[in-house]
Amino acid sequence: ETGVTQSPTHLIKTRGQQVTLRCSSQSGHNTVSWYQQALGQGPQFIFQYYREEENGRGNFPPRFSGLQFPNYSSELNVNALELDDSALYLCASSSDQGSSYEQYFGPGTRLTVT
């Protein structure tokens, strides 16, 4: 069973640029959630995708957008990068099967905006 993977591991971008982060969900999982974790903080929910449709969104501006593909992998896109976007971006996958909603996290992508 393959776990959740994310790419790239680290990324440095300049303010105003655009970035795409990628996530491959765990085998058998049809739901992907994205989180932003600023230094010293807990993860903040960005949005969730279920079977290729957005299924919930946190308090993030529209320049944060996403996609989920038929194989349930996902992308997070951030336009017009700001310095405050510097953070660890975590992807988590889960399944709608079973009685609990347990998420499995990837190792994250560390984004630095200069």
Partner 1 sequence: AQSVTQLGSHVSVSEGALVLLRCNYSSSVPPYLFWYVQYPNQGLQLLLKYTSAATLVKGINGFEAEFKKSETSFHLTKPSAHMSDAAEYFCAVSAPTGGSYIPTFGRGTSLIVHP
Instruction: Give me the residues that bind partner 1 (CB under 8 A), please.
Output: 4, 31, 33, 35, 40-45, 48, 50, 55-56, 58, 90, 92, 99-108, 110
Query: Closer CB to partner 1, residue 13 or residue 110?
Result: 110
Q: 48, 109 in Cβ contact below 8 A?
A: no
CB 22 within 8 A of CB 73: yes
In whole angstroms, the minimum distance from the beta carbon of 107 to partner 1 comes to 5
In this structure, are residues 63 and 42 in contact, taking their beta carbons and an 8 Å threshold?
no
- The nearer residue to partner 1, 11 or 50, going by C-beta atoms, is 50
Give the nearest distance from C-beta 18 to partner 1 in angstroms.
24
Q: How far is the CB of 16 from partner 1 (least distance, A)?
A: 27
Q: Which residues contact 6 (CB under 8 A, 6 or more apart)?
A: 21, 22, 23, 24, 89, 90, 91, 106, 107, 108, 109
In this complex, which beta carbon is closest to partner 1, that of residue 44 or of residue 65? 44
Q: CB 101 → partner 1: shortest distance, Å?
A: 4
Sign of CA dihedral 78, 17, 4, 43: negative
Nearest CB to partner 1, comparing residues 20 and 95 = 95
